[in-house]
């Protein structure tokens, strides 16, 4: 079960966002519409996002952090 919140697109990314209730509590389900990859964020994680300082996600936006990385690359 998932209630649609909506789709958000920019020139760099397109995501569909839903509130998923398959688990023992609600989660935000985020689908990357270009690849179909799905991730979940729970309320405590989302609250943390609300308090992110400017640039707080910059480290995670590094394309080589986990999505595009060489097999032998050090983490």
3 forms part of the interface with another protein (CB under 8 A)? no
The correct pick among 3, 4, 7, 22 for binding another protein (CB under 8 A) is 22
CB of 7 to another protein, least distance (A): 23
Give one DSSP letter per residue of the chain, joined into a string: -EEEEEEEE-SS-EEEEEEE-SSSS-EEEEEETTT--EEEE-HHHHHHHHTPPTTTTHHHH-TTTTTS--TT---
Site map (CB under 8 A) of another protein, residues 44-73, x = contact = xx----------------------------
């Amino acid at each position: 079960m998932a209630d649609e919140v909506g789709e958000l697109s920019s020139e760099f990314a397109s995501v569909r966002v839903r509130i998923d209730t398959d688990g023992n509590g609600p989660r935000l389900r985020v689908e990357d519409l270009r690849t179909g990859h799905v991730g979940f964020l729970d309320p405590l994680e989302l609250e943390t996002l609300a308090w992110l300082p400017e640039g707080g996600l910059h480290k995670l936006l590094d394309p080589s952090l986990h999505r595009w990385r060489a097999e032998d690359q050090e983490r």
